Structure 1
């Protein structure tokens, strides 16, 4: 399979095609209908889509069905039942690699980043542009952006880290970006995040959900031993500061519908569809 090129034009075309598929999935639109909608030839769309997702638009459409989602929820539950402890000190897994998640101390939490230097850059991903930021201890934020400019990036970071020193470092952060989307098994990723103990526990539990897996808010509450706290779990999921790496997009409604997402439901569909493609293409 060809390696996808991640650029804003490709993202826009893929996002438009997937939005059309999502809105019309009950009618099962064929390739010709999708190609007409995005103003591409059938050949070009098939090639571009398969290059990006790893599967054809037709197979991608199957991943949007409620039956598919419910089957994935059941499959993931079986895996999570075998995971074991997901307490405050357990490691997480991402793409078969270990990802360490370190929580800021209560003092650091209250200080709002005072004394911290946060370096950041804006990068193009398979799911649109993102702000990527890190401290000396690890990645602290990954936000998907609708407006990929420095002013927007600094506004987001300043809201979360009012006391920190912000340093634009596009070239320096490029290496960190490559490690996310071209993983190196010999260099695990480190995340350093700010949150309450409960939020940290939920985020650690999210790291246990495998690539292509799905769970529900109720299911995630059960995993952390708080079966009656589904609403609180949902709030913690929505406060995830590191998109994609802490995979909050893998939590959907028990009905099989996608539900909300901090960075937009269309992007959530993109993420889930891409992951479905990665796992299906391995079969």
Structure 2
């Protein structure tokens, strides 16, 4: 049975989909609230608490024209990483994530000898399964409310199939708080990944995309010195097993369309819209 937090996020998603489909009609607050199955007052409060801005303002960050403009600003990933908010205040929402890849021998062993503590947690973007080791976060996936949790665990086990899984929400709660409750006191996060050399290069490139920015598969390919490998880059982005922390959601199509997402396209819209809103608020604060 879905928790109240899950229900609330489902309402947010319904509203985002409805607003996107009817953006040109400029639907009223009443119409959007009806789609989300709540009163206008409750919906306005719910959405504002989640996003910090109004629903209509939120949707402005997801228009094709706006995203095309952001892509133009985001052409050089390395330059972005160096220039996007160097002050401590401007980097409040940057997760400061560092990446470690398993060794070739560990890759062959597929997690043998590794203990993974895991737990399910309510987050800004719905229910998440988080797996951690002594070397950092090794799994983060989102779980739909109507999905059997055992299937989510089985998917994690299939990736680290020789590892030992131990349900330990007390351990993973610390990571969940650090990832999704963002303050100036957030600790630097480490992720442990298992992938090919090429996949690891792509995931490292994703970590250089600042909050509030988006890029394309071509730009990622160019940033790793392999400009013709767009299809391979797309596959590596899709194979990312640590959602949000390794921000594959910030890779969109060159025409400004957000495109597919392993954990549902509407969740990708939620992430990008919320990050754009936070970045805009940061810019105003810094000025």
SS of 1:77's partner is: coil
- Mapped to 1, the partners of 2:250 and 2:214 lie a distance apart of 5
Which residue of the partner structure matches residue 140 of structure 2? 142
Structural mapping, 1:243-258, within 5 Å: 243-258=243-258
Contact 2:95 2:179 in 1 (8 A): no
- Mapped to 2, the partners of 1:257 and 1:16 lie a distance apart of 19
Gap change, CA 1:186 and 1:216, over 3 Å in 2? closer
Q: Please state how far the C-alpha of 1:275 moved relative to its aligned partner.
A: 1.2
SS of 2:131's partner is: strand
Which residue of the partner structure matches residue 86 of structure 2? none
Q: Please state how far the C-alpha of 1:148 moved relative to its aligned partner.
A: 6.0
Which residue of the partner structure matches residue 153 of structure 1? 152
Q: Please state how far the C-alpha of 1:149 moved relative to its aligned partner.
A: 5.2
Which residue of the partner structure matches residue 267 of structure 1? 267
Give the alignment partner of residue 27 of structure 2, picking from 22, 26, 29. 29
Q: Please state how far the C-alpha of 1:156 moved relative to its aligned partner.
A: 1.3
Structural mapping, 1:119-130, within 5 Å: 119-130=117-128
Which residue of the partner structure matches residue 95 of structure 1? 93
Number of matched residues? 270
Q: Please state how far the C-alpha of 1:83 moved relative to its aligned partner.
A: 4.3
TM-score, structure 2 as length reference: 0.88
**Structure 1: which 5+ runs fail to align?**
1-5, 85-92
Q: Please state how far the C-alpha of 1:98 moved relative to its aligned partner.
A: 2.4
Which residue of the partner structure matches residue 90 of structure 1? none
Q: Which deviates further from its counterpart, 180-189 or 103-112?
A: 180-189
Which residue of the partner structure matches residue 237 of structure 2? 237
**Structure 2: which 5+ runs fail to align?**
83-90
Gap change, CA 1:268 and 1:119, over 3 Å in 2? same
Contact 1:55 1:281 in 2 (8 A): no
Structural mapping, 1:18-97, within 5 Å: 18-78=16-76, 80-81=78-79, 83=81, 95-97=93-95
Gap change, CA 1:79 and 1:111, over 3 Å in 2? closer
Residue 173 in structure 1 maps to residue 148 in structure 2: no
Q: Please state how far the C-alpha of 1:23 moved relative to its aligned partner.
A: 2.2
Contact 1:54 1:281 in 2 (8 A): no
Q: Deviations over 1:199-222 (max 9, x none)?
A: 111111111111121111111111
Q: Deviations over 1:23-58 (max 9, x none)?
A: 222433232321222232322222211110111111
